[in-house]
Structure 1
Amino acid sequence: MTVGQIRFDDAAGLLAGFGLTLHHIADGAEIPGSYWGAPEAGIIASNVYVRNDTPVHSMLHESCHLIVLPEDRRALVHTDATDSVAEEDATCYLQIVLAGRLPGVGSARLMADMDAWGYTYRLGSTRAWFEGDAEDARAWLAERRLPVN
């Protein structure tokens, strides 16, 4: 599922609740701050950049990298935000939770898209990890008063 298949205002509103600004980049234009390159989302400080062909899972994943960071670290981010395995796991978990809050997406669809893109977990699928092996990520988020459901 791509950003062009959902309501941009829904995504922008969801991210604004976490102090992020979602920017829509013109089709074919370079995406600022994209770690993987277009069409994957980009991040710079509290800004998330997407095009219509950006996968929703990418938009949420990169956004969640920013959400899990303290404000002082968030301000320094350009393209790559990961500092640890724990942060990466928390980011993956949170993107699934937030997909459940995004109309027309939902957690199940996002997990299927994550698997299709190539996320890998030792239990074999995103859903198996989320439901049976993500206690550390859940605890990490809860400790920081970030959403776990």
Structure 2
Amino acid sequence: MPTSPATAPAAVLCVGDIVWDASTALLARHGLRLNRVGDGQQIPGSYWGEPEAGIIASDVYVRADTPVHSMLHEACHLIVLPPERRALVHTDATDSVPEEDATCYLQIVLAGQLPGVGSARLMADMDAWGYTYRLGSTRAWFEHDADDARRWLAERGLLPA
């Protein structure tokens, strides 16, 4: 699960390092809008504070220095919510463990759809940023301990074919 980052590891892939149009298209396929915030500007709806992504209803806010894993994590928080709950979100999307697990799982899956990112890179970045799982790594959780998250997403038709 995500933890509050003490500092941003330099090796983590950031939004400014990837193709903007690919990110906006990916989020748009899920009914979300990706909004670019200027360098040094406050990110609206950021739970952890800058440079973490922010969410308000169907909008995801990022800066160039926002980690890709953060953009995807916050977007996936919105994707897993039914539209009536999504419309009410401002900053904090859930207090549900199953939704949080589903969010973490889906962000890894969707990373595989972003050119220059991929699931393996995203999982490494999640580990570097401080996500923690009982099996010790994001990859171990994803491959061996995420059946409940995968099932939760499949039951709601949220996994890509």
TM-score (norm 1): 0.99
Identity in percent: 78
Return the match for 2:131 from 112, 115, 119: 119
> Does residue 92 in structure 1 map to residue 119 in structure 2?
no
Q: Distance in 1 between matches of 2:95 and 2:106?
A: 16
CA deviation vs aligned residue, 1:79-113 (integer Å, no higher than 9, x gap):
00013000000000000000000000000000000
Long gaps (5+) in structure 1: none
Q: Distance in 2 between matches of 1:19 and 1:83?
A: 22
> Does residue 47 in structure 1 map to residue 73 in structure 2?
no
The answer for the alignment partner of 1:8 in structure 2 is: 20
> Alignment RMSD, CA only?
0.8
Q: 3-state SS of the aligned residue for 1:61?
A: helix
Q: Distance in 1 between matches of 2:47 and 2:119?
A: 24
Long gaps (5+) in structure 2: 1-12
1:52 Cα offset (Å): 0.1
The answer for the alignment partner of 2:150 in structure 1 is: 138
Query: How many pairs align?
Result: 149
Of structures 1 and 2, the one with the larger relative CO (CA 8 A, separation 6+) is: 2
TM-score (norm 2): 0.91
Q: Distance in 2 between matches of 1:22 and 1:141?
A: 22
The answer for the alignment partner of 2:141 in structure 1 is: 129
Q: Distance in 1 between matches of 2:145 and 2:94?
A: 20
Q: 3-state SS of the aligned residue for 2:151?
A: helix
Q: Distance in 2 between matches of 1:82 and 1:19?
A: 18
Q: Distance in 2 between matches of 1:7 and 1:23?
A: 14
The answer for the alignment partner of 2:47 in structure 1 is: 35
The answer for the alignment partner of 1:70 in structure 2 is: 82
Q: 3-state SS of the aligned residue for 2:55?
A: strand
